[in-house]
Amino acid sequence: MVNTRTDTNLSAAVQNALQALLPQIREEILEEFRTGSGSSNAGGNPPPVTIHTWLERFNKQKPHSFEKATAPVDTENWISHMEKIFDVMGCEDAFKTRLAVYKFEGNALAWWKAYKQAKGGDAWLVTVTWADFKKLFFLQFFPRAEQGRLKREYHSIRQTSTETSTEFMQRFI
């Protein structure tokens, strides 16, 4: 025989307890979605939420330092190297610039410190997206004048009439 009577006091107490817990449960669920640290994470580590945790993971990837570009390709290669690391780490855009400039040394570091200070320091830095940083970086270390010169040179490349295809290709290797 099943008891179908309900205790109104017990029912009210359960209802009140549930109402009190609902905001906390909602917040925990939202946090799990936001950080990806729910049970669907299959036991992996949740994405870092502080620069210190990101920096620790970043340094484990042994990122290259950057001091100066001796050739335009150096800037492209360094940015590609950084993006490769960011991709494998699943790095959030908000941390990419700070992690990249952490690897600046010498001339690059001096430029960055002066530029950042002129723009407003750390308050400005937190607003800089990765796309914005790359534009600044390329303008500084691969100036438009140099880009233009290389484009003109590229468009003027011609194979001479006495040159074989192999010889032509060898000029650029």
The most confident of 24-28, 31-35, 59-63, by mean pLDDT: 59-63
Inter-residue contact 131 to 86 (CB < 8 Å): no
Instruction: Tell which wins on pLDDT, 126 or 41.
Output: 126
Q: Is residue 129 part of a domain?
A: yes
Find the domain containing 114 and state its range.
51-155
Higher pLDDT, 11 or 112: 112
pLDDT at 40: 42
Is 55 found in the same domain as 37? no
Phi–psi pair at 92, nearest 5 degrees: -75, 145
- Asked if residue 13 and residue 31 are part of one domain, the reply reads yes
C-alpha distances (whole Å) from 69 to each of 23, 86, 106, 135, 145 are 53, 21, 12, 15, 15
Residue 63 lies in a domain: yes
69 and 108 inside one domain: yes
pLDDT at 172 over 80: no
Question: Do 85 and 23 share a structural domain?
Answer: no
Residue 39: predicted pLDDT:
43
123 and 58 in a common domain = yes
pLDDT band at 147 (very low <50, low <70, confident <90, very high): low
Whether 66 is in a domain gets the answer: yes
Choice between 40 and 173, residue whose per-residue pLDDT is larger: 173
> How does the average pLDDT of the chain come out, rounded?
83
Domain count, the chain: 2
Which is more confidently placed, 169 or 123?
A: 123
Task: Report CA 8 to chain centroid distance, whole Å.
Answer: 56
124 and 59 within one domain:
yes
The answer to whether residue 161 is domain-embedded is no
For residue 10, name the pLDDT band (cuts at 50, 70, 90): low
Structure confidence by residue, pLDDT tens digits, 66-125: 999 888 788 999 999 999 999 999 999 999 999 999 999 999 999 999 999 999 999 999
In this prediction, residue 95 carries a pLDDT of 94
* pLDDT at residue 28 in the model: 73
Do 73 and 31 fall within a single domain? no
Q: Are residues 36 and 60 in the same domain?
A: no
Positive or negative: CA dihedral 135, 141, 142, 146:
positive
Query: Are 31 and 55 in a shared domain?
Result: no
Position with higher pLDDT, 30 vs 128: 128
User: Mean per-residue pLDDT for 135-144?
Assistant: 85
